[in-house]
Structure 1
């Protein structure tokens, strides 16, 4: 089937799934529905796709990780960096060690090194799946930020461990010292590459914009190309392309705090990236569903290869491995929480142990997805001596089964476990969020008033112009003063703003620019979170777009 046809069918399946999920009488997680649609396409319409893992990694993973890195609240990320690194590195190593031995004990036909490779590729949680499965679950914001940060960083850890295990299978040798050094090199190189690529493209882009002016369409294309540039550059240097793409998104955020695009660029770019995110997320799950019928047809042969009696035994092993992953995750979360509480009390801080339900939510949110699927399919077909890679079909089948089961468990367990969690423990929310928003609005309004007063002081000597600008200035000042006095967040209606005179429009644009500058300054000084800054800047952009001549027509 032509590639174009496949792409169009997948996009159509994503569109259909978004409507169907809203029309169903019961709430079904969108990823599960998309997996079901993919399975129907494969089983009843013969729509089977030959999965190319390297192409999959290139086309899907960099833009999604880039967007997650771009939009994740950086202040919350830095606030909980210990918890994030504990999960992103410590939990991955703990899972690889524990599950490697467990899988080999459960299925002796799977060599120990291959079992470690399977455990390594099952260790990363998937940011796409985590976000999708928690969309309908009231997960506290602080916990959600920790889970997002974990899923951003643990991909590199898991894939590096996977590479080490596969190398051990291929060569029969493994050195912990060499592995540790290689991990530092791969992870550190990925971070540096992501920062360097984003910085270089940003500098070149700013130079061209200053010379030729800014147009939204080229700027959107630049943002779409950055994650691929970071990923390919890192892969060329043999460091972590996945980590480079995620870090490029983080670097993109900080770069725009000092050199900001036009409001039209920001608004159009946000719409384009939202569309890209929805399309890629949906296609990933449809692709996974497309592989399921083929996986089920292979069950008897694979069961015979690993020495199980029936395919049902192999399905049972998939369930046992999935549950074991959850148990290990719960144990690590509990150990890490206890260590954190003990350390805080040693420093004289008052901190209590997270509740059992909170630890269960953190464990159930460990959903596997695209990274696991793409990684396991990169297993070599043959060993260097020409023999078949041991138990390759079995570990691929097990990995796919664990992905589906983890999605099913999360879709059922997360809404039940998270229900009432926020109300029961307000400390789980990021403190001061409402206060920060009110403070940011007041600060932006005061900055706008100062900018208007400064513009009025610089009024030309022409008496007619002075009278016109003074009247316009008083009208705009009245808008912002009412906002301070009565807490009106929107000012005048947009229809009234469009009818204002040109002088008033000019002053209003200066005031809005002052608001935006103040919001960026508050974000740079960490007075407000970047997600709040983006939301308030978007409000300013929407008002400004209504005042521009192009919008007025």
Structure 2
């Protein structure tokens, strides 16, 4: 395929993303499901070129920014508080699933070496950060469940990749050293932590030196790939390195970024991540065609591989439930013997957590990277696709329904301060600053209007904090009128511009001010709803 044809194909895929996203919204389906199924169906249309994905390119192109996005917006306090549970899923559940799938495959295909069976288990064991984010953004979950799922999706890829690497080596060489594997796992993880911390600290110093807003946004975007490539270059976990750098960026961006950079950068970042996520699922669907052609078509799959493929899918889903309910039972026992910090999830939350185990880009890339000499390589590829489609389509589509039926209760202890009380504290701090600067040295009031305006804002905020529902009922007509006034102002601004009375620069500057004001009102209404 020529360079021009490749570029045209990319443009076509982006256009498909728009159409499939629109269909998903109309049909109320998860976007990931629509993209995956749509890509798979469209791949078999006559005239479309076959898509062959380079697994190393897939990992280095898509995984770092998507991991960075998850880490950057992670609620770090909850991540730290629930780290034991996150590690139980990211390490324990992945290892358990690897062994469960390996045993199942060896039982169904006795001629396959044990190491190859565990290699297949390692391919399908880690739930995917991309799939999790694509599905979870459309559902409402208790805070603890959200922290566990987001944290798991950030860290479990490292476990799966290490297990896969050792299983492949053991298969091809016939040798396996469990002690060396465990030691290497800790070295890779700690090394990734060190590299990611170094990249994050370097980013802090670099951003403080940069003055141009565009350069700051570009430099911050490149950090995801820099952290991943740096980790892989020194032979440690690029996944852990990227996640660590992302957590640092997310923690310090509030002090380092000006408001304008944060607004512009977040808008750019969300758009880029959406396109990358969408292209991942489209390409997964498109690459199905090449895999089926390689193994002899759908007929060959159903006649020779159906039983082991179904066995792998069932083993993947059941293993997660067994681990989660078993670990939760252990936490319940610890709670009963007096360990106060041990808080079991309970049946409802454990059920939702067990069903939310979607696989995606990492499973695909790792499967495609299998050496040609790997025993049962075709079976492994088909199993990988089957697990991706089963988890993203079946589990992802039904997750919202399951949540509505089970109705998991948020058992997280509430924060010491709610939204209204926090806004009141901020308003008091702002009023104190204005009051301190409103008077000249001789005591003369030089900013009476600003002081009065800030005082009224403080009074309104404190009234809202005392009774938010009643205050919101009074504020809604006020906000509605403000939105109408902004709309009228924007219409007048456009009328003046269309009449040729102002330059484009004036239009853009004033429109930006109106947009920021409107966005503030909309966010206020959404937070209060």
Counterpart in the other structure of 1:11: 14
Output the CA distance in 2 between the equivalents of 1:60 and 1:75.
27
Show the 5 A alignment for 1:484-523.
484-487=462-465
TM score, norm. by length of structure 1: 0.80
> In the superposition, relative to structure 1, how do residues 434 and 411 fare at CA in structure 2: closer, same or farther (>3 Å)?
farther
Output the CA distance in 2 between the equivalents of 1:544 and 1:192.
43
Counterpart check, 1:297 vs 2:297: no
Counterpart in the other structure of 1:117: 119
> In the superposition, relative to structure 1, how do residues 480 and 138 fare at CA in structure 2: closer, same or farther (>3 Å)?
closer
**What secondary structure does 1:366 align onto?**
coil
Which of 355, 358, 361 is 1:367 aligned to? 358
Offset of residue 348 of structure 1: 5.5
CA contact (8 A) 2:358 2:388 kept: yes
Q: CA RMSD in A?
A: 2.8
> In the superposition, relative to structure 1, how do residues 88 and 478 fare at CA in structure 2: closer, same or farther (>3 Å)?
same
Output the CA distance in 2 between the equivalents of 1:294 and 1:234.
31
CA contact (8 A) 1:109 1:391 kept: no
> In the superposition, relative to structure 1, how do residues 8 and 460 fare at CA in structure 2: closer, same or farther (>3 Å)?
farther
Q: Which runs of 5+ in 1 are unaligned?
A: 305-309, 382-387, 498-540, 547-553
Greater mean alpha carbon deviation, residues 76-85 or residues 345-354: 345-354
Counterpart in the other structure of 2:36: 35
Which of 282, 285, 292 is 2:278 aligned to? 282
Counterpart check, 1:451 vs 2:448: no
CA contact (8 A) 2:358 2:396 kept: no
Counterpart in the other structure of 1:503: none
CA contact (8 A) 2:427 2:457 kept: no
Counterpart check, 1:432 vs 2:434: no
CA contact (8 A) 1:220 1:265 kept: yes
> In the superposition, relative to structure 1, how do residues 237 and 471 fare at CA in structure 2: closer, same or farther (>3 Å)?
same
Counterpart in the other structure of 2:98: 96
CA contact (8 A) 1:379 1:392 kept: yes
CA contact (8 A) 1:197 1:230 kept: yes
Counterpart in the other structure of 1:307: none
Offset of residue 412 of structure 1: 4.3
Counterpart check, 1:335 vs 2:326: yes
CA contact (8 A) 2:127 2:156 kept: yes
Offset of residue 495 of structure 1: 10
Show the 5 A alignment for 1:89-238.
89-206=91-208, 208-209=209-210, 213=211, 215-238=212-235
Counterpart check, 1:376 vs 2:358: no
Counterpart in the other structure of 1:402: 387
Deviations 1:76-120 (A, max 9, x none): 112211111111111111112222122122122432111111101
Counterpart check, 1:68 vs 2:65: no
> In the superposition, relative to structure 1, how do residues 23 and 244 fare at CA in structure 2: closer, same or farther (>3 Å)?
same
**What secondary structure does 1:419 align onto?**
helix
Show the 5 A alignment for 1:224-263.
224-257=221-254, 259-263=255-259
Output the CA distance in 2 between the equivalents of 1:79 and 1:350.
10
> In the superposition, relative to structure 1, how do residues 204 and 352 fare at CA in structure 2: closer, same or farther (>3 Å)?
closer
Counterpart in the other structure of 2:450: 472
Offset of residue 6 of structure 1: 2.5
Q: Which runs of 5+ in 2 are unaligned?
A: 466-470, 487-514, 521-529
> In the superposition, relative to structure 1, how do residues 192 and 476 fare at CA in structure 2: closer, same or farther (>3 Å)?
same
Deviations 1:126-163 (A, max 9, x none): 11111222344443332122111111111101100111
Offset of residue 415 of structure 1: 2.6
CA contact (8 A) 1:299 1:311 kept: no
Output the CA distance in 1 between the equivalents of 2:297 and 2:172.
24
Counterpart in the other structure of 2:26: 23
Counterpart check, 1:270 vs 2:289: no
Output the CA distance in 1 between the equivalents of 2:232 and 2:314.
34
Output the CA distance in 1 between the equivalents of 2:423 and 2:303.
60
Output the CA distance in 2 between the equivalents of 1:414 and 1:434.
31
CA contact (8 A) 1:357 1:417 kept: no
Output the CA distance in 1 between the equivalents of 2:307 and 2:23.
31
Offset of residue 486 of structure 1: 4.4
CA contact (8 A) 1:65 1:242 kept: yes
> In the superposition, relative to structure 1, how do residues 495 and 355 fare at CA in structure 2: closer, same or farther (>3 Å)?
closer
Output the CA distance in 2 between the equivalents of 1:544 and 1:233.
42
Greater mean alpha carbon deviation, residues 70-79 or residues 313-322: 313-322
Output the CA distance in 2 between the equivalents of 1:302 and 1:20.
27
CA contact (8 A) 1:66 1:246 kept: yes
Offset of residue 228 of structure 1: 0.6
**What secondary structure does 2:43 align onto?**
helix
Offset of residue 290 of structure 1: 0.2
CA contact (8 A) 1:39 1:292 kept: yes
